[in-house]
């Protein structure tokens, strides 16, 4: 195991902090901490980075206890939210900073090593630029290069893509993933964006109110969420009860068929391009349904439909759905 967090607790007050957090990370893994703001994900990252001391528990890297090491002595580096680039230094000096102080290289050697990392993130030609004059995407690359330049065992990333606009976020996400694959860097990534988590991670830690609710691969988290909270946070979901058990059904797993005597009425249609979202309701039941493709052209608001649900427990028809407690 590269990194082990054992029973980490850090409470700021009754409601804020991290409680009894356990996680093991292997070499080369990409782990995402996912949750809403205030769930403790950045706190967890800061505990690993050494900026906070846990109240209880221990942190080990390669079996060695680093719980009480200060940040400047830990073999981890952080890419901070909003990057925290030094505004009085240029790109090259920013990247060389950690090489000088962490790797204790001489200034000249540090600057030449820094150039290599600047090349990796494709910022050749910007070495002498003031960081304040760079675009958001370029700043993000500088932050990445600066953090990687210390040769960290683990790279910690605190919502690194959240300050970028949508299309840039998308392309940088791809780059980050391929960089991680090629260099084999272990990364721990904090985000509140479910699509980032699903697309980037080897494993996702879903957090809420300081607790790690579920740890698993993106597929496990998406298809087999252990609670309605997890199901609701990642994607849309219908929570149904069938013969005494509560199950979660994703909207895309529900098939609609037009039927003049159908049990459900389409009460709302939102066209999203790639797919269309429907809300359909029966007497005391409301379901969310997603349909992909041109088939959508068949449905109009007010149409009556019947549904079939493909679920790992078997097919369900209208009659199987006894109760729908709430729509998530």
Partner 1 sequence: MQCPGNMTLLKNKIIWKGRGNKSPLSFDVLIDRIMLFLVVGSLLLFILYPIFMVISTSVYRHGVFSLDNYRDLLSPGNLKLIKNSLFVSTLSSVLGTFLALCIALYTFLQKERIGALIYRLLMTTLISPPFVSALALIMLFGRRGLITYNLLGLSVNPYGWQGIVLLQTLGLISLAAIMLISALNAIDKRLLLASRDLGASALQTLHRVILPSIYPAILSVLFLLFTINMADFGTPIIIGGKFKVLATEAYMTIFSAADLGKAAAMSVLLIPPAIIAFYFYRKNLEKNNSLADGVKALGGEGLDFRLPLFIRIALGTITGLFFFLMLLKYGNIFLSAVTINVSGKLTFTWKHIEAFQFAYLPAVYRSLSMAVIAGILASVIGILLSYYTHRRQLPLMKPIEFIASLPYIIPGIFFGLGYIVGFNNHPLLLTGTTAILVLNCTFRHISVGNKAANAAFENLDRRLEMAARDLGASPVRILTTVIFPLLKSTFLLSFINTFTACMTTVGAIIFLVSPRNVVASVLMFKDITNGHYGLGAVVASVLIIVTVAVNLAAIKYLGREGGKPYVA
- Smallest separation (angstroms) from partner 1 to the CB of 61: 7
- What are residue 308's DSSP bridge partners? 255
Q: Which stretch binds partner 1 (CB under 8 A): 143-151, 200-208, 288-296, 310-318?
A: 143-151
- Smallest separation (angstroms) from partner 1 to the CB of 78: 5
Judged by CB under 8 A, which of 16, 24, 67, 81 binds partner 1?
81
- Applying CB under 8 A, does 121 fall inside the site for partner 1? yes
Contacts of 244 (CB under 8 A, 6+ apart): none
Judged by CB under 8 A, which of 6, 103, 170, 328 binds partner 1?
103
- Applying CB under 8 A, does 136 fall inside the site for partner 1? no
Comparison of 18 and 148: residue with beta carbon closer to partner 1 = 148
Sign of CA dihedral 302, 303, 309, 310: negative
Rounded CA gap, 167 and 276, in Å? 22
Comparison of 69 and 226: residue with beta carbon closer to partner 1 = 69
Judged by CB under 8 A, which of 17, 98, 160, 251 binds partner 1?
98
- Smallest separation (angstroms) from partner 1 to the CB of 12: 14
Q: Which residues bind partner 1 (CB under 8 A)?
A: 49-51, 61-62, 64, 69-73, 75-78, 80-82, 84-88, 97-98, 100-104, 116, 119-122, 146-148, 150-151, 153, 175, 178-179, 182-185
């Amino acid at each position: 195991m590269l990194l082990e967090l054992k029973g980490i607790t850090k409470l700021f007050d009754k409601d804020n902090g991290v409680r009894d957090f356990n996680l093991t990370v292997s070499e080369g893994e990409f782990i995402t901490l996912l949750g809403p703001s205030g769930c403790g994900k950045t706190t967890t990252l800061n505990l690993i980075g050494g900026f906070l001391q846990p109240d209880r528990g221990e942190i080990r890297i390669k079996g060695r206890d680093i719980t009480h090491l200060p940040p400047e002595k830990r073999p981890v580096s952080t890419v901070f939210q909003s990057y925290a680039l030094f505004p009085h230094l240029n790109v090259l000096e920013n990247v060389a900073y950690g090489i000088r102080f962490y790797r204790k290289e001489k200034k000249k050697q540090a600057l030449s090593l820094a150039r290599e990392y600047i090349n990796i993130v494709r910022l050749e030609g910007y070495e002498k630029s003031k960081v304040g004059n760079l675009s958001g995407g370029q700043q993000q690359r500088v932050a990445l290069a600066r953090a990687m330049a210390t040769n960290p065992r683990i790279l910690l990333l605190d919502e690194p893509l959240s300050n970028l606009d949508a299309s840039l976020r998308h392309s940088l996400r791809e780059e980050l993933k391929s960089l991680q694959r090629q260099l084999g860097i272990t990364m721990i990534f904090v985000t509140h964006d479910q699509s980032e988590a699903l697309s980037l991670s080897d494993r996702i830690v879903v957090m809420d109110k300081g607790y790690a609710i579920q740890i698993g691969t993106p597929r496990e988290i998406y298809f087999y969420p252990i609670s309605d909270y997890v199901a609701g946070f990642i994607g849309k979901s219908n929570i149904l009860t069938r013969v005494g058990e509560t199950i979660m059904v994703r909207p895309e797993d529900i098939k609609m068929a037009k039927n003049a005597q159908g049990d459900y009425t389409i009460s709302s249609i939102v066209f999203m391009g790639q797919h269309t979202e429907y809300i359909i309701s029966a007497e005391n039941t409301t379901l969310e349904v997603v349909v992909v493709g041109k088939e959508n052209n068949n449905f109009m608001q007010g149409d009556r439909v019947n549904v079939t649900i493909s679920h790992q427990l078997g097919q369900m028809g209208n009659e199987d759905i006894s109760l729908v407690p709430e729509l998530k």
